[in-house]
Chain A
């Protein structure tokens, strides 16, 4: 059974903190993705990685960075969290079909 896991289901952070969101997949997929989902705005792509150490900006990369040191792990980093980064964050991996993790609900106070 395919599996994409995310490090936290719920996270509360303060403005200015550095935040790490971790995603791990066990399907040996080359492609991994980070999205955020907000009411009325739908799913928006933050960053995409197509191989280890390879990344590509998505539609809304500002305020975020990523790290892919190993094939199975893709990390999203909020360098200095702000309240407008309060959102649901979804990680996915794919060869053909995209498989999603359970999501992390991040609240920045």
Chain B
């Protein structure tokens, strides 16, 4: 059974610092991994999808890496801004059914001005 863990559960940084968010998964036979952002009371917004054949995926200030052999993915957010304050979730495919995802509990990020 796929288990996804995100550490830390919460993070507070001053504006301008780089953010590093960690995600680990137990079943490395994955074909992709996704990162999402969630603002309070809202749905999830897809940030990045990394295919298993890729090691990195970039979008603007966001960069996500994937290391299947170690069961880890990292989301980097460069030069953080107060608008980056949100909860960030990673999700890996479940082994029991193609298409289903197993979500981590998320890392709550606060960027202080």
Contact = CB atoms under 8 A, between A and B. Distances in A.
Does chain A bind chain B? yes
Interface stretch (B65-73, B74-82, B100-108): B100-108
A98 B42 contact: no
Contacts, number: 44
Nearest to A9: B41
B97 interface: yes
A98 B46 contact: yes
B99 A50 contact: yes
A59 B65 CA distance: 29
A105 B49 CA distance: 27
Interface string A83-107: 0000010101010111111110100
A17 B36 CA distance: 34
A31 interface: yes
Chain B interface category by residue count:
20 to 34
Contact of A45 (B42, B44, B100, B106): B100
A35 to B, nearest CB: 8
A56 interface: yes
Given A42-B105, A42-B106, A96-B32, A48 B46 contact: no
Interface of B: 32, 34, 36, 41-46, 49, 89, 91, 97, 99-101, 103-106
The 10 closest A-B pairs by CB, nearest first: A100-B43, A100-B44, A43-B103, A103-B43, A31-B99, A102-B43, A97-B49, A42-B105, A97-B46, A101-B43
